[in-house]
Amino acid sequence: MELGLRGKSVIVTGAASNIGRAIALAFAREGAQVAVADIDREGGERTAWQAESLGAQRAAFVACDVTEREQVAEMMEEVVRRFGRIDVLVNNVGWDRLRLFLEEPWEEMERKVRLNLWSVLICSRIVLPRLVEQRSGAVVNIASDAGRMGEFREAVYSACKGGVIALTKALARECGRYGVRVNCVCPGTTMPASPEDAGAYSMWRAGEELASWTTEEMKERIARAYPLRRLGTAEEVANAVVFLASDAASFITGQTLSVSGGYTMI
């Protein structure tokens, strides 16, 4: 299938590790120009190097805290300066820590909102005007099945991801008349393939609560909740993102696609 992504300019936020890295590398294999936007310089530069080696027309790491408007605006201008335009935005940044809602510290709640929802609002608000002006482009937001069903010990995370899903639909309605498509992908539990893929700021890194899930025993327990009886990979999520951003999905907008082995069937 011809995806029509060769030479397209793509921004992937949170691309220094795990799902974000896999997304950036999947676009690279299609010959796109890939901007790796992250606060993790070491991981981001590694992703950019890998992207170039896999066939990206060009790849660059752009340091950016996506919860800060000024930094996002600067990042967008840097991408335009390097690549000439922006064709695709992938809002991938996300973070969670498992807590009962009534026991969650306020600071942690605020951090979840900023990383999981506010960052998507900021990046979309800053990049979309450029896509609207050129009357073409695609946005793919990474949400979660937690946002479709609500998850135990993930109330704030679920609320944020539910907000991303609703935002996706609203923006698709607003921007469709300008030739801009907006879709959403909801991964299931997707663990880094190796410790190196966890990233310096990842919720999967050593010391974080979710890092304890990476044992084989825990993986087997989690897999039993999925009809396909296994966990998904970052590459499987990336395949869905690349398709939705491509010309092959030119008549698809406002949709939410779960890549979760059947965990939700909504």
Return the active site residues.
157
Query: What Cα–Cα distance (Å) separates residue 35 from each residue in 5, 58, 206, 229, 259?
Result: 14, 8, 27, 35, 24
Q: Distance (Å, rounded) from C-alpha 127 to C-alpha 134?
A: 11
Burial class (CB in 10 A: 0-12, 13-18, 19+), 232: buried
Beta-carbon contacts of residue 247 (< 8 Å; ≥ 6 apart): 2, 3, 4, 5
For the four alpha carbons of 264, 198, 202 and 13, in that order, the dihedral sign comes to negative
Q: Residue 170 half-sphere exposure, CB side, CA atoms within 13 Å?
A: 9
Query: What Cα–Cα distance (Å) separates residue 265 from each residue in 6, 12, 122, 261?
Result: 33, 27, 30, 9
For the four alpha carbons of 224, 229, 233 and 235, in that order, the dihedral sign comes to negative
DSSP lists the bridge partners of residue 9 as: 33
Between CA 227 and CA 232, with CA 228 as vertex, the angle to 5 degrees is 120
Tokens matching residue 46:
């590694």
